[in-house]
Structure formats: structure tokens, C-alpha cells
């Protein structure tokens, strides 16, 4: 269960970047249609939940190291190459949009020059990108709860201060510009955009887990959580549209109206979510570009970050208005391909899931000194590894790595329990030593 929660939080963390955390995406793609836009939220949530489960499970099924390996497996070479180029373009575009968003965020709250805020984000991303995928995934999932708390706070505040006339607010919201219309196409375009920017890192995260069941459920839970957050954010911004309309960072303006201290806290939450998406974009981009030459990752990754910083000076809102809709349509085509192949291959997934569960059990048995592991068990393990559609060495590496991490965590937990027991025993002995006897003298 812990693994599934980690996967779901990482998935949500990839999707809720600058646009979501600032509220600008939510206003443009949903609230700009007034109350009707709330139906768009529901549509987007259903698509996101199904697609999240499919994409993460595809990554696990192919044990993906980067997105193009999956595209090559499921599509015609021309189609896979087109999608690969589209994802590469998306990763870079959204990466520099995130840097621009960091600059706008700190400028609105602290008056810091946009180049300085973007530079701070650049340094953070460049440093984090030198870590391995498991650490990057942990950072992304660890930051996500901050946004959950922020959205719950704003939603709760709004429920306590509900406006009298939602009809008037709906008309006011409809005056906001939307890059795509009508409402249902805007919702689907938003899905395409969000999944296009998250697909590469999602496939990599799924590929670092051997369990198809865990990744599928992680995507499902992540999609549901994302839908709830999106619904609360959309309702909150609609109810407060009279105070946030026209702002680059409407969510920050809302918190400013609640209390200046909350606005300061929200500034850092938004900055953290921008960081989440930025590292996801540049990390996945660096891994893809250097897929054939992994030893070149560090200089290429740092060079891409520097190039993104240079382009970010175009401006946050301008980039979102013109870049995002195009990416959204490309994303819709990609989602249709991935989900379609996933649905067609359900029987394969079921067979592979059972096979990997057995491989995991046998590997655990082989590593346990207290359990016998016969020649027949070894033959069964070798046969199961050979029958898998992925490279047997790669599969064994991932499974044994997961078991080793679990053993390490278990040892740490056991060590903590032993330490607590020793402390309790020591305390008990101390209490026994110092307890007075019936005559008021200490018992020694």
C-alpha cells in the first residue's frame, strides 16, 4: 500500500505544476466557461484517472527507462517517432514555462525580478537532476502534500464565505479568456496537455516498479486525487473570481485576501509545485536525449536547463496562452494511442502480472536463509524470467532491487523497535532501582 501511495503522489505531483498551483490553468481551461466549466472538471477527471492507470502500468509492463522505448513497442515507427519528438518538444517547452512561472510567482509576492526567481528555480532543478530516478520520484511525491493542504485550506475558507449570487460570478468568469472552446474540448485539451507533460516521467516511474498491480492502482488513486483537487480548486476560484480575475497568479491573490501570512506561505507552496514539474520535465528530457549515450547525461541535462532559462524570458502568461493549446492537441492523440493499446492488451498484462508475482516470491525465497530453495525452484525462476517479454536481466535487477530496499527499510524499523525496547527496559530497570521499599529506603 505504501508503494501505491508513493506512486499516486508522484503522479499527481507531476501534473499539478505551475499552471494548476497558480490557478491560471484552472481559470483558463474551466472557470472561463462559468458554471458550465464544472462539467469540464468532471470530464477531465474521468479521463485523467483512466489514463493515469494505463500510462503508469505501461511503464511497469515494459520496465521503461525512457518514454521512446514504450512508443516503439506499441506504435508504427513513423508514429512513435512523431510522438517522441512531440514529447521532447513538450518537455522542453513546459520546462521553460515552469522557470518563467517561478519568476512571476516571486515577483508578484516579493517584487523580486523575474530573472532572479527563474534563476533560483534553475539552480534547484539543476542540482536535483543529478540524483537517481528513485530519489527524484521521492522528492516529487513528498512535495505534493503541500498543495493538497493549500487547496483544502482555500476550499474550506470559501465554504465559510460563500457568495450570494453564483449566477453573477459565472457571468464574470465567462469574461476570462480561454485558449480553447467549447467547454468539453477545453477539458479534453487540458487532459492532453497535462498528460503530455507528465507521460515521460510517469513511464519512467512506472518502469522502476515491477508490480503491474501497484502501478495500476497508484495511477488510479492518483487520478482520483487529482480530480478531487481540481474540483475543489475550480469551485474555489469560481466563488472568488471577482477578486482574482485577470491576475497571473489567481490562487496567490486569493490567499492574499485571506491573510498576508497565508499569502507568503502559499508563495512557497506554489514555488515548490513549480519545482516539482520543472524537475520532472528536465530530468525526463535529459534521460531521453542521452538514451543512447547515458554517460553524457550530466552535461546535456545542465545544458538543457540553461537553454530553458534563456527562453523563459518570453513570459509566463504568453507562453501558456500560445504553447499549451498546441501541446494539448498532441497530447490527446498520444493518450488515445496509449490507452487504446493498454485496453487491447489486458490479457497480456494479467499474465505478466501473475508471472512477476511468482518471480518476486521465488527471489524472496532464494534470498531467505531460513527457507529452502531447490534446483526445481531455480528452474522455475529461470523459466519465468525467460517467458517474460522484457529482458530477463533487467527484470531480475528491478525485482531484487525492490526486495533489497524492503529489507533495508525492515531492518531500520526493526532497529528502531529494538532501540525503543532497550530504552523501555532501561527505564524499567531504573524505576526498579530507585523505587523505595516499605521502610522508605532505596532498593539496590
Nearest-angstrom CA–CA distance, 115 and 26? 25
> What is residue 33's predicted lDDT score, i.e. its pLDDT?
94
Q: Are 363 and 381 in contact (CB under 8 A)?
A: yes
Question: 10 Å Cβ neighbour count for 343?
Answer: 10
Which of 305, 308, 329, 330 shows the shortest CA–CA distance to 319?
A: 308
Nearest-angstrom CA–CA distance, 441 and 353? 68
> What is residue 440's predicted lDDT score, i.e. its pLDDT?
40
Entry pTM: 0.77
Tell the residue number behind the cell numbers 531484487, with chain if given.
Answer: 400
Nearest-angstrom CA–CA distance, 60 and 41? 28
> What is residue 414's predicted lDDT score, i.e. its pLDDT?
57
First to last CA, the chain: 49
Task: Give the dihedral sign, CA 346/348/349/350.
Answer: positive
Q: Spell out the domain ranges in the chain.
A: 2-344, 350-433
Tell me which CATH code domain 2-344 carries.
1.10.4160.10
Numbers of helices and strands, H then E, in the chain: 19, 0
Which of 296, 289, 277 shows the shortest CA–CA distance to 20?
A: 277
Show pLDDT as tens, one digit a residue, over the chain (444 residues): 778 888 888 888 777 765 677 788 899 899 999 999 999 999 999 999 999 999 999 999 999 888 888 888 888 889 888 888 888 887 887 787 778 778 877 887 788 888 888 889 889 888 888 777 667 767 766 777 888 888 899 999 999 988 888 888 999 898 888 888 899 999 999 999 888 877 888 898 888 888 899 999 999 999 999 999 999 999 999 999 988 887 777 888 889 888 888 888 888 888 887 887 788 778 878 888 888 888 888 898 889 888 888 877 766 566 666 777 888 888 898 889 999 999 999 999 999 999 999 999 998 888 887 788 888 989 999 999 999 988 888 888 888 888 876 654 555 555 555 555 455 555 555 544 444 444 443 333
pLDDT tens, residue by residue, 343-353: 999 999 999 99
Which of 70, 285, 301, 264 shows the shortest CA–CA distance to 150?
A: 264
Burial class (CB in 10 A: 0-12, 13-18, 19+), 350: exposed
> What is residue 315's predicted lDDT score, i.e. its pLDDT?
61
Nearest-angstrom CA–CA distance, 19 and 270? 9
Residue 297 CB contacts under 8 Å (≥ 6 apart), including other chains: 286, 287, 290
> What is residue 425's predicted lDDT score, i.e. its pLDDT?
54
pLDDT tens, residue by residue, 378-435: 999 999 999 998 888 888 888 888 887 665 455 555 555 555 545 555 555 554 444 4
Amino acid at each position: 500500500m505504501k508503494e501505491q501511495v508513493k506512486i499516486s503522489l508522484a503522479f499527481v505531483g507531476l501534473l499539478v505544476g505551475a499552471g494548476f498551483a497558480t490557478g491560471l490553468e484552472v481559470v483558463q481551461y474551466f472557470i472561463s466557461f462559468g458554471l458550465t466549466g464544472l462539467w469540464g472538471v468532471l470530464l477531465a477527471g474521468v479521463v485523467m484517472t483512466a489514463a493515469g492507470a494505463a500510462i503508469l502500468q505501461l511503464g511497469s509492463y515494459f520496465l521503461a527507462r525512457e518514454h521512446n522505448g514504450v512508443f516503439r513497442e506499441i506504435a508504427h515507427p513513423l508514429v512513435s517517432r512523431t510522438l517522441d519528438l512531440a514529447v521532447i518538444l513538450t518537455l522542453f517547452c513546459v520546462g521553460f514555462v515552469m522557470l518563467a512561472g517561478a519568476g512571476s510567482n516571486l515577483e508578484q509576492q516579493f517584487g523580486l525580478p523575474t530573472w532572479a526567481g527563474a534563476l533560483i528555480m534553475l539552480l534547484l532543478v539543476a542540482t536535483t537532476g543529478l540524483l537517481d530516478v528513485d530519489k527524484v520520484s521521492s522528492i516529487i511525491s513528498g512535495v505534493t502534500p503541500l498543495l493538497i493542504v493549500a487547496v483544502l485550506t482555500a476550499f474550506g475558507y470559501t465554504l465559510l464565505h460563500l457568495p450570494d449570487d453564483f449566477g453573477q460570478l459565472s457571468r464574470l468568469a465567462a469574461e476570462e479568456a480561454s485558449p480553447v472552446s467549447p467547454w468539453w474540448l477545453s477539458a479534453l485539451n487540458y487532459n492532453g496537455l497535462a498528460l503530455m507533460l507528465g507521460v515521460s516521467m510517469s513511464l519512467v516511474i512506472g518502469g522502476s516498479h515491477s508490480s503491474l498491480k501497484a502501478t495500476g492502482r497508484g495511477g488510479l488513486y492518483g487520478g482520483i486525487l487529482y480530480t478531487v483537487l481540481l474540483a475543489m480548486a475550480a469551485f474555489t476560484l469560481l466563488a472568488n473570481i471577482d477578486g482574482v480575475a485577470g491576475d497571473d497568479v489567481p490562487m496567490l491573490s486569493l490567499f492574499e485576501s485571506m491573510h498576508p501570512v497565508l499569502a507568503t506561505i502559499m508563495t512557497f507552496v506554489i514555488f515548490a509545485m513549480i519545482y516539482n514539474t520543472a524537475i520532472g520535465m528536465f530530468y525526463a528530457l535529459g534521460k531521453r536525449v542521452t538514451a543512447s549515450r547515458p554517460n553524457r547525461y550530466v552535461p546535456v541535462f545542465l545544458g538543457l536547463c540553461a537553454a530553458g532559462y534563456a527562453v523563459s524570458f518570453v513570459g509566463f502568461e504568453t507562453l501558456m496562452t500560445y504553447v499549451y493549446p498546441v501541446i494539448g492537441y498532441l497530447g490527446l492523440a498520444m493518450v488515445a494511442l496509449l490507452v487504446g493499446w493498454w485496453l487491447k492488451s489486458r490479457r497480456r498484462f494479467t499474465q505478466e502480472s501473475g508471472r512477476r508475482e511468482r518471480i518476486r516470491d521465488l527471489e524472496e525465497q532464494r534470498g531467505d536463509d531460513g527457507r529452502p530453495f531447490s534446483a526445481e525452484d531455480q528452474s522455475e525462476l529461470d523459466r519465468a524470467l525467460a517467458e517474460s517479454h522484457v529482458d530477463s536481466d533487467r527484470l531480475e535487477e528491478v525485482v531484487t532491487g525492490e526486495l533489497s530496499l524492503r529489507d533495508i527499510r525492515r531492518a531500520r524499523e526493526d532497529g528502531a523497535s529494538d532501540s525503543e525496547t532497550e530504552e523501555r527496559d532501561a527505564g524499567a530497570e531504573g524505576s526498579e532501582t530507585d523505587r523505595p521499599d516499605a521502610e522508605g529506603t532505596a532498593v539496590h
